[in-house]
Amino acid sequence: MTLVITIIKGLHIAAILLWAAGLIALPLLLAQHRRGHDQAAYQRVRRFSHYGYTHLLTPAAVVAVAAGTALLFLREAFVPWMFAKLVLVGALVALHAWIGNLVVRMGEHANRRQPSPILPLLFLAIALCVGIFVIVLTKPDYALAFPEWIMSPRDRQLPVEEVPIW
């Protein structure tokens, strides 16, 4: 079982590296779209950004999420820091979709649209990747501030006498 976990973890790390690099590189590539470029230059940048997103970035994201999900269940890592990481991964998936939307919009407007500003995309991608990296490496012990009566069993029945059956 340890060999399987090691292989899946290696696949997960490789896919994350590729996905994160793509989330940082693709906005830089989209910034190369300039209104008024000749058709050949536009087609080259457009084709590269489209294929980069559909053939490299999206498969890397799918593999990273699938391998991470498998690791979550194989390692039984149901701890608070993992849920904090999953929130950031969800934001990374949303950023991935946003960049995909920009790729599609750039293709639909056929060199008539100025690209969106890339600095917010770059900042967000780098901040999310660094946040995930820090959480995974430090594995912080989040103290859940729930009252004691919620966290401990009371050896009592539920307050409802009957459960409706539909």
Q: Cα-flanking dihedrals φ and ψ of residue 51, to 5°? A: -70, -35
pLDDT in tens, 48-64: 888 999 999 999 999 99
Tokens of 13: 């790390």
CA–CA dist 102, 6 (Å, integer): 36
Q: Is the pLDDT assigned to residue 37 strictly greater than 80?
A: no
Q: Who wins on pLDDT, 30 or 12?
A: 12
Q: Is the pTM of this model over 0.75?
A: yes
pLDDT in tens, 113-158: 666 788 899 999 999 999 999 999 998 887 766 677 776 777 776 6
pLDDT at 144: 65
Whether 116 and 27 have beta carbons less than 8 Å apart is answered as no
User: Which residue, among 106, 95, 78, has the nearest Cα to 131 in the 3D structure?
Assistant: 95
Tokens of 141: 């012990």
